[in-house]
Structure 1
Amino acid sequence: MSDATGQKPPRATRRPTGPKAAKAQTEAKQPTAPRQPNPPAPKLERGTVTLATWRDLAVITVLSAIGIWGFAPAFSDNGYLLAGLGGLIVGTGAAYLSHLLRLNAFFTGLGAIALYFLFGSALAMPGYALFAVLPSLTTLRGLALGAVFGWNDMLTLAAPVGAPDYITVLPYAAAWLVGLVSTVLVLRWLPRKDRSAGRLALLLLGPLTLYLLSVLYGTGTPFLAAVRGIAFAILALLWLGWRRGTATNASLQQRRGINRTKLVGSAIVATAAILIAAVAGSILVPAPESRFVLRDEVVPPFDPQDYPSPLSGFRKYTKDLGDTELFSATGLSASDRIRLAVMDSYDGRLWDVSGAEQQTDGSGSFRLVGDELPAPNLIDSSAGRSVSITVEGYSGVWLPVVGYPETITLPTEPTDTTQDLRYNAETATTVITSGVDKGYGYSFTSSVQDEFSDEDLGNVPVAAVELPLVERVPDVVAAKAAEYVGSAANPIDQLRAMEQAIKINGFLSHGLASDSVPSRAGHGADRIEELFTRNQMIGDEEQFAAAFALMARSLGYPARVVMGFAPDDTKEGEPVTVTGDDVTAWVEVPFEKVGWVSFTPTPDEKEIPQDQNPKPKTEPQPQVRQPPRAEKPDDDLLTEVDINDSEDDEKNDDAFTVPLWVWVLAGAIGIPLLLYLVPLLIVAAIKRRRMRRRLDAPTADARAAGAWDELLDRYAEAGYLLPETGTRRMVAVNLGGQVEPLRASGTDTDAPAENAGGIATLTRLAHGADEAVFAGRDASDGHIDELWQTTESSTGAAAAAVGWWRRQKSKFRIHSSRTVTERLTAPGTTQRRRASSRHQTDRGKK
C-alpha cells in the first residue's frame, strides 16, 4: 500500500524490550566523554638527566665497584682500590660532561683521555706525582705504559703485586674505560628506546667485565667469592626487574599493585639467590689448585734456558778471572756467602737453572718485581743485611745477592733498569735481563737463613719439596751414597756422613798449571763417574758440589746446587773486593720448618799423592806389511768445515723480536676486525655501484626514478617496512609515518628544523619523481639534483632515527628488488609512454 504521494510508508520496526534493552537505552542517553590521546613524551632540555637515569648510573657504579674489589689478592696494598674507584669516577664524569655539552664521539674521547692523564697521577701514582696531585713526566709515562703493557706485566708479577710503579694503572684504566662507556650508554643510548631486558642487560657488560678481570688476574685463592657473587647477582637481577618497563599510563591503584608484586618478586629473587649460592657454592666452587687464573697459564718472559748454566762457567773464574776484581760489597758479615744462581735440574750434562716448563714449588719462577721482593715459602731467619754492591769486572745477567732479598734499589741513571728485574723467590736468584757491566751499583736488604746444629736437626725430617727430576745419573753415584751413609739413620746424619767422606777422600784441584795434578773441568755424567772411579777423587767445588747433590737425590732428598762467592777476610761494615778466586759452590737441602740448610763438600787444600798404579808396558807387535793405499777421489779427502755463525747469531740475537702476547693481541683484535671490515667494504662497494648506475642513467626520468628507488632501498636496509603496492605518494606517507614517531621518541634536541625523512619531505620527493617520470618532457638537471639531495637528507634522517644496532645491520644489507618504477623505466617503455602522451594531447586539441 502507498499513501497519497504514492510512496510506501516506512516499515514499522519492533523495539527490543527487556532489562538489557533498558540498560542500553540508559547508557545511550548518557553523554560519552571524548577519548584523550596519550600525551607525548616531554622533550628534555639539553643535558637534563632524569631521576631514573641517576639510579641507573648508581647501580652500574656499585656493580663496577664490586668488580674492582676483586683485585685485592693481586695487590700488596689498598692503592688499587683508590685507583679503580677513582678511574670509575673520572670515566663517569667525562661521559657526563660530554652529555652536558653535547659533544660528538671524537671530542668525547679526546676529553676523556685528557681527564685520564689529569687525574691519573693523583689516583694511580700519587707517590710519583708533584705534591701527590699534579702530573709529572714519570706519572704521564706510567699512565701510558700501564694502560698498554700493564696487562702483560700483571700476569708475570708475583702476587701480591707491589711493582712496577705503574702497576696500579691497570685497575685505574680498566675502571675508567668501563665508567666512560657505560655512562655514555646510560645517558645517550638507553633513553632513546623502551627499556627492554636486552637493552638493560647490555649495560651490565662493563661491570661484568671488571668482575671477570678480577678473577682472571687474581690468584688461586678466591677473594670473598660468595659475598661478591651474591651481591652482584642480586643487585643486577633486582635492577633488571624494577627497571624493565614502566607504568606511566596505569592508574594509582594499578601502580600500587605492580609495585607490590615487584616487591614480593624481589624478595623471592634475593632469597633464592642466597640459598642457591650457599648450597651450590659449597659443591661447585673448585679447589684453589684447580682454579683457573691467567698468571698460572702465561709463560714468564724470562727463560733461564736461553742462557748458559752459571755452573758451566765455573772454571772461567778460577783460570781467567782469578785476580780480576769482579765487584765490591759493603755490609757483609764474616760468614756471609754471596749467592749468584741456584741450579736444581740435571740432564746428564750439567746442573742448570730449571726452565719455564720445569718450574716446581722448589724453584718457583722468574717474575717481574719492583722495589719490594716476595718472601720464600721456606725460611727461618732472625738476622738481616743491608748490602751495597758496585760492579767492576763482573758481567752477566745473574745479579749477586746475599741471603733472601726483601727490598732492592736499582739505578735509574743513565738508564732505568727497574723494568728488567726478574726474581725467583724460592731460590733467591735475581736477574737483570739487560745485564750489568762496570759501574753498575745497587743496594738491597735481605734475610739470612739461620744456622742450626746437627743436634737441633736430629729429629727434623727433610721437607717435601718438589724439584725437577735428575736424569742420566751414573750408577756409581747411588753405590757411593750407600757406602758413605753406612749406618746413619736420620737425614742430617746421612747427609753429614756423605759430606765428611768427600772431604776426607777428595783432593782439591782447579785444573791450573800450578796444581800438582790438574783436574778435568765439567760435571757431566762421565766426569762424575770418573770422579768416583779413579784412585784419587780429584776435582774442585764444581765437581764435588755436583756429585754431593746427585748422591743426596739418590737417597730421595731434594738437593740443589748453589754457585756464588765466599770472600776471605771479610770485616763487619768494611767494603770487600770479590775476585775470581773467591768463586765457590755448595749444596742446599730443605728441612721442615727450618729452611734450606747448606752443605759444603769441598775438601781442604792438601797434597795430592801421585798415582801409584804403574802404567802397563807396551809389548812389541810383529810388523805386518800394509796393503797399498787406494786412490780416493779428491772430494773424499776434503773434510767438512764448520762455518762460524757466531756473528750471524749475535745479529739475530740483537734483532728485535715481537713478543708472543703482541701476536695474540693482534690476532684477537685483527681477525674480528677483518671479519667485520671485509664484508662491510664489499657491501659498500656494491651499494656504491648501485647508486652510480642510477645517477648515470641515460635519461632524466630514469635518474629521477633512480633517486626514488635509492630511497626505498636505503629505507628497507635500515629496517623500515616497504608497502607491497601503492603509488609513490602512498609509499611516502607510509614511510614518513614510520620515521616521525621514532624521531619524536628520541632525545636529540639538536635535530634540524626541516622535517627530513618525514611525511612532508617524502611527499615532495614522490611528487617530484612522478613529475619527472610522467610529465612527458625531460626534467632539468637542477630538478634531478634536488631530488637526489632530498634522497640523501631523508635517508640520513631515517637512519639516525633508528637505533645504533639497526644502523650497523643496515651496513651489511643489500636491498635490490625490481620495483614498479624500474619496470616503467625499462628500455623502450619511456618512448612508448611519451608517444602515448603526445597522442592524447593531439586528441584533446581536436
Structure 2
Amino acid sequence: MSGPRRRADRPARASDAGAFRAALGLGYVVVAGLLATVAAWPIYGSARAILVAAVGILAGLGIVALARALPFRGPLRWLAIVGATVVAYLLLVVPVAIPSAMAGGPQAWGRGIRDGAVGIVVGWKQVLTLSLPLGEYQAVLVPFLLVMLVGTVVAGLLVVPDRRTSPLAVLVGFAMSGFGLAFGSSAVSAPVLLGSISVPAPRELLVAVGGLVAALAWLLLRARTTRSMALRRATAGTVQRAGLSGWPAFRRRSLAGLLVAVALVAGAVVAPAAAGIVDRSALRDAVQPEVVLRQTPTPLASYRSAFTAERIDEPWLSIEGDTAGIERLRLATLDAYDGETFHVGIDEDEEAVRFNRLPRAAVRAPGDAAFELRVGDGYSGIWVPAPLGLRAAPDFTGARAAALDDGFHRSADDATSIDTAEITDASGAGGGAPRGLASGDEYAVIAAPDGTRELGEPGGTALLDPEEYPALTGWLDLQGQSATAAGFLELVDRLRTRGYLSHATADGPDAAGWIAGLGSGYAFLPSYSGHSKARIEALFTQLADQQRLAGPEASDAALVAGIGDDEQFAVAVALIARALGYESRVVLGFRLPGAPEVPGVDACTDVCTGAALTAWTEVSGGADAWVPVDATPQHEVAPSLIQEGEQLPEHPTTPERPDAPVVEPPSAQSESNDAAAAPDDSAAAVPPAVAAWLRWTGLGAAAVLLALLPLAVLLLAKSLRSRRRRRDPSPEVRVVGAWEELVDLYADHGLLEAEHVVRADTARAVGRPAAATLAALVDRAVFAGDPPTSSEADAAWSLVDRERDELRGGARARRRLSARLSFASLARSLRPARASLQEPAR
C-alpha cells in the first residue's frame, strides 16, 4: 500500500522542488537588485532612488509572473514580454523617475513621457556629465529605472522556470550592480570603524562581497535541490531508498561552507587592499572635454591681441541686469604652469581639473545677482564668461540654445566654464568648425555675490624650485621680505610699482588705441609678449639689475625697470606666491564696476570691450578660499634703465618719448608673437603656393611609401630566405633548401595548393620534370650513405634557377608580378595536407 502512495506523491514533490528552486532564483534576483541600489546610492543621494529601485524590481517580477502565465510560447510570447516591459516603463517613468513632470497637467505629463523615452538613449550621458549627487534633477533617474526594470525581467526569466541556463542570472545581477560602480564617482566610500578595525571602502566591499556570497549561496542551494530531484528520479522504481551516509553529507556541506567562507575572506581581505593600492576609475572620469581643451591654446597667450587696433574697441560682451555684488567676470582660470604657458591642468602628469555639467534649475537666494550676457563681435571660443559663484548652468537663448545647453561644462572648483558646442555656419553644417560661444549668443546667469576673503599665511614649503628660477630667487633675496602674508603683499606692491605697462613691441597704429587710453603723459616703451619661464626670468633680471645698479638709497622711481603687461605680471605674482608656499593660479577676465579700481584697466559697465580684458592672480587663502590679487603694473613713471658703469642722475626726469632701448632677452628667449613684429625675410623667400605644393607633395610621397612598405617587407623577406638557403655552409642543407625554394616557387605561381609528405608525390602532383628530377636528387642526398658534395648542391640550385626562369618566361607580366608579391609561399605551412593542383595561369 505504501508503494503506490509514494509514487503518487512523487509528481507533487517534483513540482514542489521546482517551485522551491524558482523561489530561490527570484530571491537571488531581489538580493541583486538591493545590492545594485546600494551601489547606485552615491550617484543620486536621494530617497527617490530607493523608490525607483523598489518599483523597478516589483514591476519586473510582475512581468516575469505574467510571462509564466501566458498560454502560448514561441516568438509571440517574447513579443508579449517586450510589449509588457515597454508599457510598464512608459506608465511608471513619470510618477517614479520624473516627478517634476506631474505638476503641470497632461501636457507636462506627455513631455515627461517623451523625456523618459529620450532618456533611454541620452540619459546615460546626462548621468556622467552632471555633478554628483544628482538627486531628482530632470530625468537623471531614468537610466536607473531602466536598469532595475530590464535587469529584473531578464534575470527573472532566466531563473523561472529553473533550467540549465539559469546560472546566467548571476551575470545580470553583477551587471545591475556595475551600473552604480561604473557611473558613480572614482572616489571610494569613507572607511568605517568596527571597534578598533578600520574597514576601507565599506560600500564597495558590501556590493562586491554581498554579490559574490549571494551568487554562491543561490548556486549551491540550487545544485543541492537539483541533486535531490535526480536521486528521487533514479530511485523512482524502488520501494526503499538508502539514505545518504553521514560522512558524504558532512563532506559536501563542509565544501559548500568552505566556498562561502573563501568568498567572504577573499572579499574582506583582497577588496580593501585593492581599494587602498589601486586607483579606481569610473566612466565619468573619461567623459571630459579634455580633447577640446587640449586642442585649444591657452587664452593667456592671445591676451595682447585684444589691444590691437582692430579689436580694442570691439564689444566682447554686453551686460544687462543687476550685477551688484559681482566684482569680476571670469573667462578662464589657469592653474597649471609647465614653464611655457599657464593653462588648465589637464595633462596626465598633473592633477587634472574635472569638468561637469551643472543642473539648470537654480534657486535664487537673497543677495544673488541675476543678469544677462550677450556675446559681441569681438569674442568667440570655448571659454564662457561667468561669475565665480554660479548657482546653476546659464540659461541660453536663441537658435543655438539647445547645443549650448548640451555643451556647457563647469570645472569642479567652479572656477572655469567652457562650452563645447560646435559653431555652425549659415547652412547649419558643423563639420570641423570651431566650438564654443559665437557672436549673438545670449545667456542669463544667477550667481552668489563675491565675498571678501582674507589672505592666510603661506605653507611652510615652497612650491617652486629656486634653482629653476635664479632671477626670481635673486630678486626675492634683494627684497628681504619674510615668507608671510604681509611680506607677500609687499612683494606684489613692489613688483607693480617697479613695473611699467606696455602692450606691444612697436609704437605704431596698432598701439595707438591703448596708448591713448592711458593718457597724454604716457611714454611708450616696447615689451615682448609671452609668459614662459625665459620671459619671466628676463623681467626679474631687469628688476634685479636696476636695483643693484641704483644702490640701496635709490627712490622708487629709480627702481622702475620691468616692462610688460598683465600677461607677464600676473604670472610673475603667481610664481612669487608659489616661491613663498602659496598655491596660485592666473585668471583671465573682466572687472565689473564693483571691483577695486586699477589704473590702466577699464571696468565693464554695459559693454566689455577688448580694452577691458585683464588678468589677475588668485592665491589660496586657506580653507579652499582663493583671494584675487591684481597684478597690473603702473604706467605713470617710465623706467630710466641704468647701464653697467653709469651713475643714476641726481634729478631724474621722465622723458616725453625716451629712445633708450630696452634690455632685450637673448634671441632664444624671445617669444614675441605680436602682429606688429617684423616678418622673417627668410620665411618669405618661398612663395606660399610653392610651400603648400611642397608640403602636400611630401605628404603624398610619405603616404605612398607607407602603402608600399608591406610589399617591400615581403620582397625583402623572400630575398633573405632564398639567400640563407643558397649560402648555407652544409651542402646537404643547401640541397634541401633548393627543394624548399622550388616548392615555394610553385606555391607562388599557383601550381601547389597542398604539399604532400613524400617529395616524389609532390613532384608527380605538380607534373613538371624539374620537380621530379630535384625530388630524386634531394632524396639521394638525404638518404644515401655518403653526404652530397658542393657540386651536387650547386646543381640543385641551378635546376631551381632554370625552373624559375622558365616559369617567368612563360607567364604574362601581370602573372609574374602576382607571383613575386604572393604570400602563398610564406603561408604554405598552413595549407591542407592534400589538395588538387592546377596549372599556372598564362
Task: Report the alpha carbon displacement of residue 388 of structure 1 after superposing the two structures with TM.
Answer: 2.1
Q: Which residue of 2 aligns with 1:339?
A: 330
Q: Which residue of 2 aligns with 1:350?
A: 341
Q: Which residue of 1 aligns with 2:97?
A: 124
Matches within 5 A, 1:187-266: 187=160, 190-191=161-162, 193=163, 199-219=165-185, 220-221=187-188, 222=201, 224-229=203-208, 231-244=210-223, 245=225, 249=232
Task: Report the alpha carbon displacement of residue 568 of structure 1 after superposing the two structures with TM.
Answer: 3.4
The partner residue of 1:588 within 607, 612, 618 is 618
Matches within 5 A, 1:535-614: 536-555=561-580, 557-568=582-593, 576-593=606-623, 595-609=625-639
Task: Report the alpha carbon displacement of residue 92 of structure 1 after superposing the two structures with TM.
Answer: 3.3
Separation in 2 of the partners of 1:71 and 1:397? Answer: 33
The partner residue of 1:365 within 323, 348, 354 is 354
Q: Does residue 1:531 correspond to 2:504, yes or no? A: no
Task: Report the alpha carbon displacement of residue 470 of structure 1 after superposing the two structures with TM.
Answer: 9.8
CA contact (8 A) 2:313 2:611 kept: yes
- Residues 235 and 349 of structure 1, relative CA distance in 2, 3 Å threshold: closer
Matches within 5 A, 1:507-518: 507-511=500-504, 512-513=511-512, 514=515, 516-518=523-525
CA contact (8 A) 2:574 2:586 kept: yes
Deviations for 1:540-566, whole angstroms, at most 9, x for unmatched residues?
A: 222210222233344554321111111
CA contact (8 A) 1:383 1:447 kept: no
Counterpart AA for 2:98: M
- Residues 643 and 66 of structure 1, relative CA distance in 2, 3 Å threshold: farther
Separation in 2 of the partners of 1:307 and 1:347? Answer: 16
CA contact (8 A) 1:348 1:472 kept: no
CA contact (8 A) 1:346 1:470 kept: no
CA contact (8 A) 1:408 1:445 kept: no
Separation in 2 of the partners of 1:356 and 1:427? Answer: 19
CA contact (8 A) 2:462 2:580 kept: no
Separation in 1 of the partners of 2:242 and 2:113? Answer: 53
Counterpart AA for 2:471: V
Q: Which residue of 1 aligns with 2:294?
A: 305
Separation in 1 of the partners of 2:102 and 2:249? Answer: 49
The partner residue of 2:448 within 446, 449, 453 is 446
Q: Which residue of 1 aligns with 2:32?
A: 63
Matches within 5 A, 1:16-31: none
Separation in 2 of the partners of 1:229 and 1:424? Answer: 32
Separation in 1 of the partners of 2:450 and 2:357? Answer: 23
Task: Report the alpha carbon displacement of residue 61 of structure 1 after superposing the two structures with TM.
Answer: 2.0
Deviations for 1:776-799, whole angstroms, at most 9, x for unmatched residues?
A: xxxxxxxxxxxxxxxxxxxxxxxx
Q: Which residue of 2 aligns with 1:462?
A: 459
Q: Does residue 1:77 correspond to 2:46, yes or no? A: yes
Q: Which residue of 2 aligns with 1:639?
A: 686
The count of aligned residue pairs is 568
Q: Which residue of 2 aligns with 1:500?
A: 493
Separation in 2 of the partners of 1:385 and 1:107? Answer: 54
The partner residue of 1:430 within 411, 417, 422 is 417
Separation in 2 of the partners of 1:342 and 1:120? Answer: 40
Task: Report the alpha carbon displacement of residue 517 of structure 1 after superposing the two structures with TM.
Answer: 1.0
Q: Which residue of 1 aligns with 2:141?
A: 168
Q: Does residue 1:292 correspond to 2:292, yes or no? A: no
Structure number with bigger Rg: 1
Q: CA RMSD in A?
A: 4.9
Counterpart AA for 2:591: A
Separation in 2 of the partners of 1:463 and 1:128? Answer: 54
Separation in 2 of the partners of 1:267 and 1:323? Answer: 82
Counterpart AA for 2:305: K
Normalising by structure 1, what TM-score?
Answer: 0.57
CA contact (8 A) 1:121 1:135 kept: no
Q: Which residue of 1 aligns with 2:472?
A: 477
CA contact (8 A) 2:618 2:626 kept: yes
Separation in 1 of the partners of 2:265 and 2:382? Answer: 51
The 10-residue stretch of structure 1 (271-280 or 509-518) with the greater mean CA deviation from structure 2: 271-280
Deviations for 1:719-754, whole angstroms, at most 9, x for unmatched residues?
A: xxxxxxxxxxxxxxxxxxxxxxxxxxxxxxxxxxxx
Q: Which residue of 2 aligns with 1:104?
A: 77
- Residues 202 and 607 of structure 1, relative CA distance in 2, 3 Å threshold: same
Separation in 1 of the partners of 2:99 and 2:243? Answer: 51
Separation in 1 of the partners of 2:462 and 2:24? Answer: 54
Deviations for 1:380-426, whole angstroms, at most 9, x for unmatched residues?
A: xx996333232141433212222232433423654323321211122
> Aligned to 1:564, what secondary structure does the other structure show?
strand
Matches within 5 A, 1:562-711: 562-568=587-593, 576-593=606-623, 595-609=625-639, 639-641=686-688
Separation in 2 of the partners of 1:77 and 1:463? Answer: 42
CA contact (8 A) 1:217 1:295 kept: yes
Separation in 1 of the partners of 2:261 and 2:144? Answer: 29
CA contact (8 A) 2:209 2:263 kept: no
Separation in 2 of the partners of 1:370 and 1:516? Answer: 50
Deviations for 1:137-184, whole angstroms, at most 9, x for unmatched residues?
A: 643453344333444554444433358733322211222221121222
Gaps of 5+ in 2: 189-200, 422-435, 505-510, 516-521, 547-560, 597-603, 644-658, 662-682, 697-842
Q: Which residue of 2 aligns with 1:94?
A: 63
Q: Which residue of 2 aligns with 1:385?
A: 368
Counterpart AA for 1:72: W
Separation in 1 of the partners of 2:249 and 2:690? Answer: 82
Separation in 1 of the partners of 2:282 and 2:605? Answer: 44
> Aligned to 1:585, what secondary structure does the other structure show?
strand
Percent identical residues: 22
